[in-house]
Structure formats: C-alpha cells, structure tokens
C-alpha cells in the first residue's frame, strides 16, 4: 500500500519494527528492494518505508557532485 501524507510518499506496512531498522531494505514478494524503512512503533505493527526511487535519486545527485 502506498500512502501520501505528512511524511510524503511512503509505504504503510503492517509489520512490527525495532529500533535500528531505519534505512534497512523493504522487499516485495519477488525479493526486490522496493523501499527503505523509515519509521515504526514498538507499540503498533505499523511501519513506514520510503520508496527506493528516492534513494536512487540521492545516489545520482551524489555521483553528479563528485
């Protein structure tokens, strides 16, 4: 599920997360990376991930600036 709100575009996942998961990959059923964990709550099983396209964009900018 993709949602757009105060956090911007993100995947809303129904999986628990733990401290330190931020920046870790989110995989689809085929094993492809589709996003990066950004926020979750220990009290709830809702976790958010930003689409991987944002990380790809940042990598391209960094490569262009170096």
Look at residue 60 and give its three-state secondary structure: helix
Q: Yes or no: is domain 2-65 CATH 2.40.10.10?
A: yes
pLDDT of residue 52: 92
What residue ranges do the domains of the chain occupy? 2-65
Is the pLDDT at 12 greater than 70, yes or no?
A: yes
pLDDT band at 14 (very low <50, low <70, confident <90, very high): confident
Q: What is the mean pLDDT of residues 52-61?
A: 88
Round to whole Å and give the CA distance between 19 and 29.
24
Q: Tokens for 43?
A: 């009290």
């Amino acid at each position: 599920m993709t949602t757009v709100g105060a956090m911007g575009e993100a995947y809303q996942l129904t999986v628990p997360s733990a401290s330190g998961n931020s920046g870790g990959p989110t995989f689809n059923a085929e094993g492809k990376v589709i996003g990066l964990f950004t926020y979750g709550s220990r009290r709830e099983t809702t976790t958010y991930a930003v689409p991987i396209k944002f990380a790809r964009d940042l990598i391209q900018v960094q490569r262009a600036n170096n």
